[in-house]
Amino acid sequence: MTQLLLFNVTNGLIIGAFYVLMALGLSLILNLSNVINFAHGGFLVIGGYIAYTITPYIGFWGALLLAPPLTAIIGLIVERVLIRPLYGRDPLYSLLLTFGLAFMIEDGTRFIWGPQGKPVTIPPFLAQPLSNDLFFITGYRLFMVAVVMIAVALLFVLLRYTRLGVRIRAGTLDLETVAALGINVQMLRSLNFAVGIFLAGLSGVLAAGQLGLEPTMGTGLLMPSFIAIIVGGIGSLPGTLAGGLLIGVASGLTAVFLPAASEAVIYVLMAVVLLLRPRGLFGEEGMMT
């Protein structure tokens, strides 16, 4: 039993790491632009399909490098054309827009690539488990965790030490003052959106290697990512990181005792956190109210 628990905690951390990658992108966009991006799962799917399409020409590693920036470019266009006109309005406008956009992306991918799932093969040396006992730790899953760690580290370096990062953080706290200091806020939002969508694209490439690549793939992954943000605390990137890992572990542990509740438990966790600490685990009081 102890072994089973230990296995599931480790497994939960691996799954949580993936949620973190999704949730960080969502969180970036939400924090600076107040856009609840329901189309984030759609961008994940776009990333996956772009990788699937270019893999025959440039291989898995080439696709891993190229698909996320291509997805980010699509994100930039969407931001410029659809989302920017809504910045001054109530957040519900952009929420509804991205909600509709999510369906359009799902049907669009179905139209272009067909409703049937696409087979994605990963390099054979990654598709092996470490050992017979620790079968759930495959090379690919470790690789995923490594990519997430690198992405998170780079993101923190970007936000802490670069001019763009400092401006994004400053804008999150007080966008009006940032604009008054002569910084191009529109450009800042665009770049920030692109970074968020880049992370969605990267999640898409990674997910396609492990899950079936099909147009609805993003839907099931989006909800846990939202919950990770709410549990971790809106406005706090370390909170998002903790939230993602926490719901991964909670979901894994519940699967041992009460499998039927393994999906519901993340909602219960969210409810409990909201009741006891409405700002989320790491959220600052008054951050988003």
Nearer to another protein, 100 or 238 (CB): 100
Kindly report the backbone phi and psi dihedral angles of residue 122, in degrees, each rounded to the nearest multiple of 5, phi listed first.
-100, 160
Minimum distance between the CB of residue 184 and another protein, rounded to whole angstroms? 12
Q: How far is the CB of 154 from another protein (least distance, A)?
A: 25
Question: Which residue's CB is nearer to another protein, number 12 or number 68?
Answer: 12
Contacts of 32 (CB under 8 A, 6+ apart): 168, 171, 172, 175, 188, 189, 192
Q: Distance between CA 15 and CA 30 in Å, rounded?
A: 23
Report, in Å, the least distance between residue 95 CB and another protein: 5
C-alpha to C-alpha distance for 282 and 189, rounded to whole angstroms: 24
Closer CB to another protein, residue 72 or residue 221? 221
Q: 135 with 129: CB under 8 angstroms?
A: yes
Alpha-helical (H) ranges within 34-114 are 40-78, 91-113
- DSSP assignment letter at 181: T
With a CB cutoff of 8 Å and minimum separation 6, the contacts of 218 are 40, 41, 42, 43, 44, 45, 102, 106, 204
| CA distance linking residue 59 with residue 57, whole number of Å | 6
Q: Write down the residue that tokens 């990654």 correspond to.
A: 126
Measured from the CB of residue 80, what is the shortest distance to another protein in angstroms? 15
Q: How far is the CB of 193 from another protein (least distance, A)?
A: 14
What minimum distance in Å lies between the beta carbon of 69 and another protein? 25
Question: How far apart are alpha carbons 61 and 59 in whole angstroms?
Answer: 6
How far apart, in whole angstroms, are the C-alpha atoms of residue 176 and residue 205?
36
Question: From CA 190, how far away is CA 84, in angstroms rounded?
Answer: 8
Closest distance between another protein and the C-beta of residue 264, in Å? 9
| β partners of residue 118 | 213
* Nearer residue to another protein within complex by CB, 139 or 165: 139
